[in-house]
Amino acid sequence: MNNLGKNVAIWLIVGLVLMTIFNQFSKSQDSASQIPYSQFMVEVEQGRIASAEIEGNPLRGQWIRGKKADGSNYATLAPFDFRMVDTLIKHNVKFAAKPEAEPSLLMSFLMNWGPMLLLIGVWIFFMRQMQGGGKGGAFSFGKSKAKMLDESNNAVTFADVAGCDEAKEEVSEIVDYLRDPSKYQSLGGRMPRGILMVGSPGTGKTLLAKAIAGEAKVPFFSISGSDFVEMFVGVGAARVRDMFENAKKNAPCIIFIDEIDAVGRQRGAGMGGGNDEREQTLNQMLVEMDGFEGNSGIIVIAATNRPDVLDPALMRPGRFDRQVVVSLPDIRGREQILGVHMRKVPIANDVDASVLARGTPGMSGADLANLVNEAALFAARRNKRLVDMADFESAKDKIYMGPERRSMVMTEEERRATAYHESGHAVVAEMLEGTDPVHKVTIMPRGRALGLTWQLPERDRFSHYKDQMLNELAILFGGRVAEDLFINRISTGASNDFERATAMARDMVTRYGMTEKMGPMVYAENDGEVFLGRSVTTHKNVSESTMQQVDSEIRRIIDEQYALAVKILSENRDKVEVMTQALMDWETIDRDQVLDIMAGRTPRPPKELPPIRKPAPVHTDTPSGGAEATDAPAAEA
C-alpha cells in the first residue's frame, strides 16, 4: 500500500507536467501560423482566402482557421464583428462554423481538482517521510540499521583469512552446520546461538566475520554496537527488536555485531544516574538472544577487543555458547598473512616471507598489511618496478621506530652525546647473555626520540623471566651510564628509560614476586575501572612498613643493575668509542656492523639504497626551510 500510494502520486505529477508541455506545444503551433485579424480581412477582400472554419463564441472571440488561395494554412483570432459573415459571403469564401470545443471530463476534473490533489499528495508524502517512510525520518529511529549481505556484495572467503587456523576451524563449523544441519541434529546437537570473537585490535575478527558471510549461503546481517544507541530514549531497545524481527523473517541467518562492548558493558555501576539507555539496549538483547520466545535459526556473532568489560549475563552459554579467541599470529601465521597480502603487489625474488615473519614479532594482521603497503610505497618512491627486501626493511623501520626527521637540525655536540647514549644501550645489550640481539642503532631522530636502539627478538616470547627482566633494566641504564662515563655530562634523554625501568622493577616486586625478601605476594593496589561496574573505592591492604620494604627492594634492584651497566661499559670503552664514531659517520648501523664492532673488527660500510624520489619543487614568494622526512625503524630510546 505504501508503494502504491507513492506510485499514484508520482504518476499524477508526471501527467500534469506532460499536459502542461502539450498545451504549451499546441499554443506555440497556433501562434506560429497566426496572422492579425485586420490582415485577414484585407486578404479576404483581395480574394486570397479560399476557405475558413469559425470556432468559438463571438462574444469571447473566435478562432478562424483555413487555407489561403496559394494553399498555405492560416489562423487568426477574430473579435466581435457582425459584418464578418457578410464579407465572407460577398467574396465567395467557403466557410463553416462549429461550436466552441468543450474540455473532456478528465481535463475538467484535473483543472478543477488537480491543484488540491497535488497539495494533498505532497502533504501525505512529507508526513510518511517523517513517520519513517523514508530513510532518516523523524520517527524512523526505531528501525534497525543492520545491513544485509549476500553473495553478490561480499567476496571475502576463508581463503582471504590467514594466521588464525584455530579460529577458522571454530567458525567453519557454523558454516557447515548451516549448510547441512541434519548431520549434527541426528546426534542430538543444536545450533550454537552465539559466538563471541575476542582478540586484540587488528587480528582479523571483522574479516573473519565477512568470511563467514562469504562462505555461508544464508542472509548475513551486519551492524555495529554503536548503531543501537542515539539521542532518544528507547531507540536502542527498539532497534534490537526490529533487527531480530527482520532476522526471523530470513531465518536461518547470521547476525554480526561489531564492537559489542559499546552496548554490552557491565550493568550496575551506578555512576551515571537516572535511566541508563545502554542498559535498556543490553536487556533487550539478552531477552532476544535467550528469552521466553526462542529464536531458532538465528546465530549471533559478536566481536570485541574488550571482553573484560562485558556483562556476565551476556557471556553465559545459551547466549554466547562459544568464545573464539583470535589471537596475535605466531611466526607461521605471520608468514601466511604476508603471503596473502604479497599477492597484491609485485615482489622481487630476494623477498623472503619467513625472514620477515621472524623479524615482526607481535605484529597483528592489520600491522602486516600496513607493512606490505609501506614497502610498496617505498619502492615507488625509489622508482623501482618490484618491491624488494630493502623496501621491506625500510618499511619495518618506519613502523617500529617512526619516520625519520631529517629536517631536525642538531649540533655536533648533541649528535655525539646521542651517539654515546645509543652506543651504551647497544654494547650492554650485546655483552649480556640471553638478551635479544641488537638489530639496528641510529642517531637519526625518529618520532619523538633523538636516537634509537632496536633489539629484535629471534622468536616469539610469551612469558617474561626474572633474568631477562634484570638484563633489560641494565640495558635501559646503559644510555645514561655512557653519557656519564664518556662526556661527563648527563641529559634529560634518559627520562623515558628511567620511567620504564622503575615501572618494571616495581612490577617485579609488587606483582610477580621476583624477590626473596618480599616473597610471592601481590602488593599492587586495586585499579579496577569504576565505570565498568567495579568497586568505587580502592582497597589498601598493605601497611606502611611493608610499602617501605617494597620501596627498598625496588631501589636495590635498580642500583644493582645500574652498577652492572657501569661495569660493562667501563670494561668495553673501546667498543663504545668505535660504535660512536660509526654512528657519527653513517648515522645508522645494522646487525652486521654491530657484530664487527663487538668482534673488534673495522665495521663494514653500510649498504647503499636507491635515492628516494623528491617531489617537484613548489615555487613560493617566501623561502621555505626543511627537508623531506624519510621513514624508518623503532624501539628503545
Q: List residues with catalytic annotation.
A: 422
Parallel, antiparallel, or unpaired for β 194-198 and 298-304? Answer: parallel
Written as nine digits, the cell of 34 is 497566426
What is the spatial distance between Cα 7 and Cα 290, in angstroms, rounded to a whole number? 42
CA 598 to chain centre: 46
Residues 6+ apart with CB under 8 A from 488: none
Is 513 annotated in some ligand binding site? no
Residue 199 marked ligand-binding: yes
384 is in an annotated binding site: no
Q: Taking the chain, what is the end-to-end CA distance rounded to the nearest angstrom?
A: 70
Integer Cα distance of 107 and 342 in angstroms: 70
Q: How many CB atoms lie within 10 A of CB 432?
A: 19
Q: Give pairs for 583-589: CB < 8 Å, separation 24+.
A: 583/419, 583/422, 583/423, 583/441, 583/442, 583/443, 583/451, 584/415, 584/416, 584/419, 584/443, 587/442, 587/443, 587/444, 588/440, 588/441, 588/442, 588/443, 588/444, 588/632, 589/440, 589/441, 589/442
Smallest Cα–Cα separation from 196: which of 162, 225, 158?
225
Determine whether the annotation assigns residue 201 to a binding site: yes
Q: Any known ligand binding at 497?
A: yes
* Distance from C-alpha of 85 to C-alpha of 487, rounded to nearest angstrom: 126
Listing from the earlier edge strand, what are the strands of the sheet with 51-57? Answer: 73-78, 61-67, 51-57, 94-98
Is 33 part of any known ligand binding site?
A: no
What does DSSP say about strands 322-325 and 73-78: parallel, antiparallel, or unpaired? unpaired
405 with 629: CB under 8 angstroms?
yes
* φ, ψ of residue 384 in degrees (nearest 5): -100, 160
Determine how many CB atoms are found less than 10 A away from the CB of residue 498: 14
Cell of 70: 496559394
Q: Is 615 annotated as a binding residue?
A: no
Report phi then psi at 232, rounded to 5: -95, 140
Report d(CA 226, CA 145) in Å as an integer: 11
What residue ranges in 339-492 does DSSP mark as E strands? 402-403, 438-442, 452-455
Residues with Cβ within 8 Å of residue 401, at least 6 apart in sequence: 440, 442, 446, 447, 449, 452, 454, 632, 633, 634, 635
Nearest to 211 by CA among 149, 289, 299: 149
18: cell is 506532460
Q: Which residues are annotated as a binding site?
A: 199-206, 421, 425, 497
Per the annotation, binding residues for Zn(2+) are 421, 425, 497
Binding-site residue numbers for ATP are 199-206
